[in-house]
Structure 1
Amino acid sequence: MGGITRVRYRDAADLAAVLPALAHPDPRWIDPPPVPDASRPQPPRAYEDDAPSYTRVDVVDTLELRDPERLAVLSPVRGQEAKVHVLAGVAPAIWRAAVGASVEALCEAAVAEYGVPAGASASGVVQRAVSELVGAGLLRRSEAPRWSVCPDVAWADREGRVVLLDVREPAAQPAALGGSASVIWRELAAGAVATSELVARVARAVGVEEELVDADVRTFVAGLVEARLVVPRASTEIDSSDLTDP
C-alpha cells in the first residue's frame, strides 16, 4: 500500500498542477546536504549569523565639524521642526557605516577610523553608542529574517521524501527532497524560523552537534531561497524616530 499523502496548497486551482506531479515516476531530486564528520573542513556560510542590523534613518542634512571631530545631523521630528543632533566620539564612524551593518561591522568601522580605545572594550563602547543612536531615532534596527516555505509552492510528504512543485511556473518539474533535505523542509514548513534555530532543529533531528550541520544547512537554505522556494518573513523593524521625545 502507498499510504496517505497529504498535500499543502493555497488555492484549489493549484491541485490541477500538483496532482500529476505526485504521480510523476521520476521527479527531479534536490540533493540533501550531507551530515559531515568533524574532520571535514566546513564551507563558508551562505548567511550571516542571526544578528540584527542597523541602518541610519533619512535626515534633512549633515555637517562635518572639526576640532574636535563631530558630526551634526539635522533630523525631522514628526509634527515639529527639525532637530539637531551632534555626534561625537565613535558615533560619527558608526553613523557613516550604518547601512544594514551588524554591531560587529560597526565596531570594525570605528576601530579602523579611531583605533582601539585605551582601557575599554571597543565592542562595549560601540554597543553603547549604537543604543544611544537608536534611542535618539538616528538608527533603525532590523531583526534577522525568519524563513518559511513560499505559499506558491505545493508539496506533499510521502514515503520519507518531500515532493514539491512551484505552481507559478507552468513548465516546472516536480522536485524531490530526501534525507536531511526533507528534514530541513519539514522544519521550514512548520512555521517561520530564524536560521540559527533551524540549524538547531535539524541537528537535533539527525542526532549530531550543531557545528557539524551549520554551514551545510545555511548553504542549502540559500539554494532554496535562490530558487524562490523559501522566502523571508518581513523583518521586525524598530524605528525609534517614532519614540523620539519632542
Structure 2
Amino acid sequence: MSQNILIVEDEQSLAQVLGEYLSQSGFSVSILNDGLGVIDWVQNNHVDLIILDLMLPGKNGLDIYRELRVFSNVPVVMATARIDEIDRLIGLELGADDYICKPYSPREVVVRVRNILHRSVDDVKVTAQVLSIDEKTMKVLVKGKEVSLTRAEFGLLLHFYQHKDQVFNREQLMSKIYSDNRVVTDRTIDSHIKNLRKKIQSVDGEVDCIQSIYGVGYKFAL
C-alpha cells in the first residue's frame, strides 16, 4: 500500500511538479493550495507526511503546525523561501521533522521524505518493543514486563504517549488528569512523574520515557 503525502503549497505549479515526482516514486499525493482547510482535511483523511509551506493564504504554516500537534504526530516538512527563516524556525524548536528552502530540488525532497518515513517506522518499532500501552485495560508493559500504575500515573503516561512531539507544562498536565477541577499543586504532577519514572525504571533502569524540559515541563522521550 502506498504512503500518503499531503502537499500544502499555494504556488500551484510548484506543488504540481513536486506531486508528480512523489507520485512517480510510488507515493499517493494530495495537494491543498491554502491554509484554511488543512486541519479539517487531516482530521478526515489518512496522511503519512505533510510538506507544509510557511507562507500560505488563509492561515500560515506555523499556526497550522501548532494546531496539528494538538491531535497528530504526523511527520511535517516545513518549506520556506528564506534560508534565514529556517534558522529561526529551528531556533523556535517547533519539532518539525525537516526544513527545506525554496526553490528546492524535487528529487532531493523525495529523498528526504523517504528518509523521514523510514525513520518514523523504525521509531514506532523501537517504541513498541520497549513500551506497550493498552488503554482499555490500563495495562502497561515495559520490555514485556507488566508495570502496575495508579490511574493518575497511567493517565499521564498515556497522554505523553499520544502526544509524543509535544512539551506540556504542569498546568496542562493537571487539567488533563484531574478533569473534576480539584485543587492540586505543581508538586503533585512532579510527584506523579517521579513515581511513574521509578516504576518503569524498576523494570529496566535504562528506560526513561519522560524527559524534563528545564523551565517548561515534560515531554515523551522514547
Name the one with the larger helix percent: 2
Which structure has the larger Rg over C-alpha atoms? 1
Flag the structure with more relative contact order, 1 or 2, with Cα contacts below 8 A and sequence separation at least 6. 1
Q: TM-score, normalised by structure 1?
A: 0.27
| Structure having the larger proportion of residues in strand | 1
